[in-house]
Amino acid sequence: MLHPEQTYRVEISADGVSCHHPHGLVETVRWDELRAVVLETNDRGPFVPDVFWILIGDRRGCVIPQGAIGEKELLQRLQALDGFDNEAVIQAMLSTDNQRFLCWERPV
């Protein structure tokens, strides 16, 4: 049996990242439009998704639950961004509260 977050699928390309939701919605952010990467945690786990990647673009965004198919590859790609804050990721993984952690922001 799949966990709820495993019904989401992440696709990474040279142009950007897409998240395919189980109900058919597809959210896409282009790499050249990416402004920020945030990890959001909540206190609802462990039986429902409680950690989400929020990719904020110039015109659109993408919300991806931790554990989505392809999420490990997404993390590897995000870690290649200049200035990506791995410490923020670690802090988010330790959190059981409703919090947001800024992992990366496009330089101005």
Alpha helices in 32-101 (DSSP H): 71-79, 86-94
Domain count, the chain: 1
Q: Supply the range of the domain harboring residue 40.
A: 4-105
pTM, whole model, 2 decimals?
Answer: 0.90
Within 8 A by CB and 6+ apart from 52, the residues are 39, 40, 41, 63, 64, 65, 66
Pairwise pLDDT comparison (88 vs 93), residue with the higher score: 88
Give pLDDT tens digits for 25-72.
999 999 999 999 999 998 876 666 779 999 999 999 999 999 999 999
Distance from the Cα of residue 38 to its chain's centroid = 7
Q: Name the phi and psi angles at 103, rounded to 5.
A: -95, -30
